[in-house]
Structure formats: C-alpha cells, structure tokens
Structure 1
C-alpha cells in the first residue's frame, strides 16, 4: 500500500466522521483545514480568513438548503466572536494556531 493510498483512506475516514457533526462544525473544520494547509506558520489576516470561509462555504454549505446554510453560518460565526477579534489577528497569530482554535470552537457548535 502506498503512502498516498493510506492518506486517501485516512482522509475518507475523517470525512465520514465529520458527516455526523453539525453543519456549523463541519464548516469550522473545513475553514481550519484550509488555513492549516496554506502557510500555517504565517500570521493569519482577515483576507485569508475570509477566503478560507468562502472556499469552505462552497465545499460544505452548498449541499444544504438555504435555511440550513444560513443557520449554520450564523452558528459558526457566533463561535468566532472571541477568535475573530481584531486584537487576536493584530497579535500575529499564525494560521496553524488559528486553525487549532477553530477546531476547538467547532466542538461547541
């Protein structure tokens, strides 16, 4: 079995496990994945966070009806209030650290 096959199997198990989460939690995990895959050692900014949310929204939210999407987005954003504080971003928190915080926040929604 190749490394790529093992990785694909692990990714599939992770995807299936996340299907049982709330839509808001799925969204936060998807945002965290995107942020941690792209320069996790660099400070996160509002533009990068917005782009990650947009991409994750397409991947996660597009499959649900509008009412579900709207509710999930509101729940996800409400979990971000302490994380999206301008002071946190101004402090130069890295994408990797922010992704960890997003994953923690996902457990609460």
Structure 2
C-alpha cells in the first residue's frame, strides 16, 4: 500500500533538483509534467500545449523578476524552435512530446 508521504518524498526531491536548473529548463520541465500528467496517450494539440505553457509560466516564472522571466521564456521558446519538428501536426502524444521537452530542457 502506498501512502501519501511515500509519494511526497520523491516529488520533493525532484522539485529540489529542478531548482538548480536554469529557469528556462524549469519551465520546460513544468510544461512536460503538465502534458504528460493529463492523458499522455492522447494526441497533443496546440491548445493543450499553450495552456500547459500558460499554467507552467504562471507557476514557475512568477517567482522571478521580470528580466529573468523574459530571458527564460525566450530561451524556452528557442528550445522549442530548435526541436524543429512538426510533431503537433503529426499527432504526437502528450507523453512523447513531454520527452522531447525534457530533452530540449538540457540544451537551455
């Protein structure tokens, strides 16, 4: 039987590990978490990706000054462009795209 505290420790360790990442990487990981947590086997839409970015941005970027937010957002978007794929028009699932975002986060 898994208890709530059993899940909290790994989640807390992951949160702490991500704090050391660049802010843009934190943002990309947060977006990846959101799209992989909600129906990861379904095809990802641009609307769902946009909502995930808006939610992750509000959660992650809100704690930083404006200049940091601006640079982080530009770097995260550049990482998306660097993916240079048309996977959203190819029916990629949220889980697959989340993996791509986590890979892109390593480059920022």
TM-score, structure 1 normalization = 0.94
Q: Counterpart in 2 of 1:77?
A: 77
2:8 matches 1:8: yes
Quote how far apart the aligned CAs of 1:2 are: 4.5
Residue of structure 1 equivalent to 2:102: 103
Looking at structure 2, the residues matched to 33 and 75 of structure 1 have their Cα atoms a distance apart, in angstroms, of 18
Unaligned runs of 5+ in 1: none
User: Shift of the alpha carbon at 1:3?
Assistant: 2.7
Bigger shift: residues 3-12 or 54-63:
3-12
Superposition deviation, residue 84 in structure 1: 6.8
2:32 paired residue number: 32
**Aligned residue pairs, count:** 108
SS, match of residue 8 in structure 1: helix
CA drift of 1:88 comes to 1.4
Partner residue, 2:22? 22
Deviation sequence 1:37-76 (CA, Å, 0-9, x none): 0000000011000000000001100000000000000000
List runs of 5+ in structure 2 lacking aligned partners: none
